[in-house]
Structure 1
Amino acid sequence: MAQHPDIPVDTVLTVLTTTDSADKAQSLAEGAIAARHAACAQVSGPVTSVYRWEGAVTTDQEWQVLFKTTADGYPALERWITEAHDYDTPEIIATPVVRGSADYLRWVRAETAK
């Protein structure tokens, strides 16, 4: 995954994925932190997800995992989630943090530096 040209590499991102159990969400969170792909991950749920899959509208319970990383670290986090996840097409959505506590944002950068 190439770095998006409009997003500076030191920009902090939140990255969201979902999975179908609390244990899987916890495993995704812990694995990303252990590998330093993210500084923090929050697990929440269950949430109700409604989506179209293979032509049918489906409703399922899922758990969300919200990771904090940098734009520079995003490609490795995306690869890791894709490889560790058991969904065929896992949700992976990144959003730039446009404002935040300077100390917290420094911490995220430091924790994800390799």
Structure 2
Amino acid sequence: MTQPVFIYATFPDTASARKTGRMLVENRLAACVNILDGMVSVYRWDGEIAEDDEVVMIVKTRSDRVAAVTSAITDEHPYDEPAVVALPIVGGSDSFCRWIVEESNAQG
């Protein structure tokens, strides 16, 4: 059975997140995309500690669209190794969860 899921991804800037988010919604890969600016990431890369400003994207989609959404984000993403992970939704508003599943349906 198809379930709603959230996909968490990070981007270097709002413009690239908006471009990708719009493409996901236009292609019915997502019901909605939230873009949250102002995150600071501290991480290890190539043996060094780095700190960068980033943008968070939360994609609301269906469990059967995770692979397609992940591929679409990765194809559009400016990073060599973008952070893209799917998170299950374990509860919440039934009507909102139905809306996510309906709006991210490929048949529209």
Q: Same fold (TM over 0.5)?
A: yes
1:18 matched to 2:10? The reply is: yes
Q: Deviations over 1:45-72 (max 9, x none)?
A: 1100001111111000000010001110
User: How many Å separate the matches in 2 of 1:19 and 1:98?
Assistant: 26
Distance apart, 1:37 and its partner CA: 0.9
User: Over the residues paired in the alignment, what is the CA RMSD in angstroms?
Assistant: 0.9
Which one of the candidate residues 23, 39, 42 is aligned to 1:47?
Answer: 39
Q: How far apart are the structure 2 equivalents of 1:10 and 1:104? A: 14
Q: Which runs of 4+ in 1 moved over 4 A?
A: none
Q: Percent identity?
A: 30
Q: Which residue of 2 aligns with 1:3?
A: none
Rounded Cα–Cα distance in structure 2 between residues aligned with 1:78 and 1:25: 14
Gaps of 5+ in 1: 1-8
Distance (whole Å) between structure 2 residues aligned to residue 29 and residue 100 of structure 1? 23
Of residues 72, 86, 96, the one that matches 1:104 is 96
- What is the number of residues matched between the two proteins? 106
Corresponding residue for 2:74? 82
Match of 1:92 in 2: 84
Q: What is the SS of the residue equivalent to 2:2?
A: coil
Q: Quick one: which of 23, 33, 37 aligns to 1:31?
A: 23
What is the alpha-carbon distance in structure 1 between the residues aligned to residue 105 and residue 39 of structure 2?
A: 32
Compute the TM-score of the two structures, normalised by the length of structure 2. 0.94
